[in-house]
Structure 1
Amino acid sequence: MNARELEAQDSKQQSWRKNNDNPSLQEVHKSVPVKQTGSFFRRLLAFIGPGYLVAVGYMDPGNWATSIAGGASYGYTLLSVILISNLMAILLQSLAAKLGIVSGRDLAQACRDHFSKPVSVALWVLCELAIVACDLAEVIGSAIALNLLFNIPLIYGVCITAFDVLLILLLQNKGFRYIESFVIALIATITVCFGVEIILSKPEIGGVLTGFLPSSEIVYNPDMLYIALGILGATVMPHNLYLHSSIVQTRNYDDTSEGKRSAIKYATIDSTVALMLALFVNAAILILSAAVFHSSGHKNVAEIQDAYHLLDPLVGSGAAAILFGIALLASGQNSTLTGTLAGQIVMEGFLNIRIKPWLRRLITRMIAIIPAVIVTLMYGEKGTGDLLILSQVILSLQLSFAVVPLVMFTSDKKKMGEFVNKPWIKWLAWFVTALIVVLNAYLLWSTLF
């Protein structure tokens, strides 16, 4: 090792204070082999998976509520918000993957390493609130799907979701690839269902294309802006940044500059393609709502249950509502997997506390089920719909506290070395961060006052 390499190694050790941390999700760390030779496609295949686990968070039941409300109330106008949010997500998720691959830390560990203990604990509390809010959306979404498809009362559906943790444990014990395969299969189910729904709803093509162009009306209409911020919170998920920075480390890539560079490239392709699928699903929900509800004068449809019951008579097909319910159930189950994994990662990363995975997941699920049970008992369907919207607002408010450290770390040459963000990526990332902070500050102000 020459003097320059020794100097670089010393600099890296000084920039990261804690070098002997165990990785998060230690039971699956470096468990997926990666081919070092072969065709581009064969090497890419080894990295396909983490991006789809991340994409799940961008099409969870919380997205459905905000997209249905946006499409029914304002037609195709808010499609531009979904597109912009998705592009922001692609950028931020690529940075999260790079942080995990280069530093060998997930975002939670990097925060604990860099910030003081009080700050780390505060960030952990905020992140846990976001995960509970996300889990709340999954619990309610799955319960609504069970109610719509099988007429199971909401309160029983909420309780049934507690057993999702058993499925997660079963799959993880078989290997991380089983979890990824299960998630990809459910995403394919959701995509096919909405592909058929789009065909059945016959949207106005010109309106759809125009909707992807940003409109100043969004900024000047407070009600529309509130839903737009809900879409932002439901699309760019803060816990996904922690999740992605950890699960990319399940790949057993070479711990060399070339190995890391290759891993970053393939991980970025994986997440970008997966998030484009998420864009299709989120846009499809809003397009379906606009084409079916807004165009027929049903502009107050904001709840998933109402959308389900109105689909068949308005679309004129008995399959429309069933496909909608199946996709919703698949979405809720998918999000359960990633939300509980994220919960384990942030607890291990921020606090360096390691408990049994089944106990961690059970705790997360119970914290989400308790408010869902209370609201369901007291307010019924209307209450669960409001709770679903509120969960997305909470996610949006927490987003800044995950994005700022991510951009800060990946733009720090002492921490990232040769893999530091290029100037244009750095400034673009900070612009996105500033936009998120300003919009969320406005959301908080408008909500309180």
Structure 2
Amino acid sequence: MPVGDAGHGAVTVPERASFWFRRFLAFVGPGYMVAVGYMDPGNWATDLQGGAQFGYRLLSVILLANIMAVLLQALAARLGIVTGKDLAQACRDWLPRGLSLPLWLTCELAIIACDLAEVIGTAVALNLLFGISIMAGTLISVLDVFIVLLLMRWGMRALEAFVITLLGIIAVCFGVQLVAAAPPVGAVLKGFLPSSEVFANPGMLYVAIGIIGATVMPHNLYLHSSLVKSRTYTRTDEGREDALRWATWDSTLALTLALFINAAILIVAAAAFHGTGHQDVAEISDAWKLLSPVLGFGLASTLFAVALLAAGTNSTVTGTLAGQIVMEGFLHLRLPYWARRLLTRGLAVLPVIVVIAIFGQGKVGDLLVFSQVVLSMQLPFAMVPLVWFVSSRKHMGRFHLSPLLAVLSWLVVLVIVGLNIKLLGDALF
């Protein structure tokens, strides 16, 4: 039975006559699992670089990326709730086999690339907190399979509670750092307003593209479309409409938390490094070294590293689920969670070990950027089928997208794909 299907650690939804808040709480969880992908270590690099180089001016880009992410995740939830199929299952059943097999391969590549970012983030955090070498931290990261196995044994609610707890730790860490950084409120608010300067400045445009490219993760669309099926609501048009409403609220609020964390990373970087002679800070380890001395707050660097470790650990859980969903959906093949986890993590650990062995720890940051480029290459292969399916009256019935929402969705796809192509071209050439 696929990961998100009702019956596999399913969450019971109270009857419609119940207090609305109880019904909402029953749907809370999948959105936060998805939000993890919007604040993983790959996002940190672009947010740090943007804040250090350009101050608060790229906050508007983070806001725009988040709005687009809210729309795409709502579409993924719509697909799962209305059709009872996740995106991988829909691709297998509704697309020619000549298309679905390549889609599976590209998605597996994206999951490995995402896992690569998690490996690097976890290894760097262990290095910063405990002085463990990046190589040793990379090998230790393989052991997280036991965390996933334990949580899966306890069920879906245990997974969701674990993820939400770590998200809370990340939010608290950056909340404290925001207070310590004491950024000028006026400049922060102005940063959320769109500016033509983003397009006029090539360096700023490049970082802006990187922020958007690192925000929308392709595996999240597969993950969300499956997890929403874990709720035991009534499978009628009325029940689906109710589930759609609560699932959309769940993901929107969760991604608002992701917006706060991403914005906080950029704001802290802007307050600490922009205008203080440290505009060239781009590496996570460099930011960690400078935070406490620059802010004059001894715990700033520690909180930064704790948040990074929480982000890497969180991404491990959701990455494992996404991998299982994709394999089951495309191939009808189910591996034990420990086998799936070890396979994906092993393929992600290998390039880190090779790079460290040949070039040393200094090139790990470049590998992190490369993982985001790989993700950007896969993104269209997830977004295009998703929007195509939810726009179809044949597959969605009366829940298909309205013409206006369909046009808006395709516009978002074109913008993200275009920016990612630009990012890919700049990275390669």
TM-score range, shorter chain: over 0.9
Aligned match of 2:88 in 95, 108, 113?
A: 108
Distance in structure 2 (CA, Å) of the matches to 1:382 and 1:255 = 53
Report the number of matched residues. Answer: 428
> Does the CA-based 8 Å contact 1:67-1:282 persist in structure 2?
yes
Corresponding letter in the other structure for 1:154:
I
Over 4 Å off, 4+ runs:
24-28
Q: After superposition, where does 1:4-403 map in structure 2 within 5 Å? A: 23-25=2-4, 29=8, 31-36=10-15, 37-403=17-383
1:18 match: none
| Residues in 2 aligned to 1:332 and 1:259: alpha-carbon distance in whole angstroms | 36
1:371-416 C-alpha deviation (Å, 9 max, x unpaired): 1111223333321111112212222222111111111100101100
Q: State the secondary structure of the residue aligned to 1:34.
A: coil
Percentage of matched positions with identical amino acids: 58
TM-score between the two structures when normalised by the length of structure 2: 0.97
CA distance in 1, matches of 2:9, 2:263: 35
- Aligned partner letter, 2:36: V
More displaced stretch, 153-162 vs 111-120: 111-120
Per-residue deviation, 1:99: 0.3
1 CA distance for matches of 2:89 and 2:417?
23
The one-letter amino acid paired with 1:145 is: A
3-state SS, counterpart of residue 415 of structure 2: helix
Structure 2 residue matching 1:32: 3-state secondary structure: coil
Alpha-carbon displacement from aligned partner over 1:27-62 (angstroms, at most 9, x marks no partner):
964711111131110100101011000001101111
Q: Give the counterpart of 2:390 among 410, 413, 436.
A: 410
**Offset of 1:75 from its aligned partner?**
1.1
**Cα-to-partner distance string for 1:292-351 (whole Å, 9 max, x where unaligned):** 011202011001100000011100011101111111111110011001110111111112
Moved more, 208-217 or 255-264: 208-217
Deviation digits for residues 142-187 of structure 1 (CA, Å, limit 9, x no counterpart): 1111110111111110101101111111111111100000001000
1:205-226 Cα deviation digits (max 9, x unpaired) = 2221121122223223333222
Instruction: Provide Cα deviations, 1:410-447, integer angstroms capped at 9, x if missing partner.
Output: 01011000111122211111110111122222223333
For residues 187-211 of structure 1, give each alpha carbon's deviation from its aligned partner in whole angstroms, at most 9, with x where no partner exists: 0000011001001011122221121
TM-score for both structures, normalised by structure 1: 0.93
> Gapped runs of 5+ residues in structure 2?
none
Aligned partner of residue 360 in structure 2, secondary structure: helix
Question: Partners in 2 of 1:420 and 1:363 — Cα distance?
Answer: 37
In the other structure, the counterpart of 1:14 is: none
d(CA) in 1 for partners of 2:355 and 2:161?
Answer: 34
Given the superposition, is the C-alpha separation of residues 288 and 157 from structure 1 closer, same or farther in structure 2, using an over 3 Å criterion? Answer: same
> How large is the RMSD of aligned CA atoms in angstroms?
1.4
Task: Quote the Cα distance in structure 2 between the aligned partners of 1:31 and 1:330.
Answer: 26
Distance 2:205 2:92 in 1: 35
Higher mean C-alpha displacement, 160-169 vs 369-378: 369-378
Q: Give the whole-Å Cα distance in 1 for the aligned partners of 2:58 and 2:356.
A: 30
